[in-house]
Amino acid sequence: MPKIDVYDIKGKKVSDIELNEKIFGIEPNEAIVHSVLVNYLANQRQGTQSTKTRSEVSGGGRKPWKQKETGRARQGSIRAPQWIKGGIALGPKPRSYKYKVNKKERRLAVLSVLSSKVLENSLVVVDKLAFDEIKTKNMVDALNNLKVEGKALILLPEKNENVQKSARNIKGIKTTLVNTINVYDLLKYTKLVITLDTVKKLEEVYA
């Protein structure tokens, strides 16, 4: 089982913890992680792009000139694709890019990234993360004490308004919950900050 130090919000080591190897100690499957990430990004696409075909643009109700004896190429409508302000041939139309990925694959992808965080020493475990009030400075001080720099994802076991709102104005910092975790956020943020309660919640959900 992987072993990792546990700190308090002042940055002092208070203990260590053996993490469940079924969650934090598996061999990362990069192919599955890539597949699930592509699925997530595809599902975020709005698919609202649209172009007008020749039947949707205005004008062009009759032939611009007769078929023969003009010396010009025959034309049926001034709204054909080759004309300026004509319709678009084979252009994009509103559509959904969503598709499903096997639930087991999504689960394996999350576990793969969590295990990668341990291997890369990018996982920070805090004994408890709680504030008496909503104050950005409290979160900034806690992250500085924990030596968390750059982009960091704070994973909470459940909603905590004081913690979530204290972090929302800090650039590069995001909070999320165990039940809304996704591969994109885990990969986007360099550091992953979790509490002991988060570890227990992850074990309940994924072990």
CA–CA distance, 120 with 98 (Å, rounded to integer): 32
Q: Per-residue pLDDT tens for 181-207?
A: 999 999 999 999 999 999 999 999 987
Q: Per-residue pLDDT tens for 139-155?
A: 999 999 999 988 999 99
pTM value is 0.83
Q: Are 154 and 190 in contact (CB under 8 A)?
A: no
CATH of domain 3-45+97-206: 3.40.1370.10
What is the per-residue pLDDT for 17? Answer: 92
Task: Count other C-beta atoms under 10 Å from residue 109's C-beta.
Answer: 27
Residue 61: which pLDDT band, with cuts at 50, 70 and 90? Answer: confident
Residue with tokens 């509490």: 195
User: What ranges do the domains of the chain cover?
Assistant: 3-45+97-206, 48-96
What is the per-residue pLDDT for 77? Answer: 93
With a pLDDT cut of 90, the percent of the chain lying above it is 92
Nearest 5°: phi and psi at 121?
Answer: 55, 35
Q: Are 162 and 45 in contact (CB under 8 A)?
A: no
Q: Per-residue pLDDT tens for 121-180?
A: 999 999 999 899 999 999 999 999 999 988 999 999 999 999 999 999 999 999 999 999
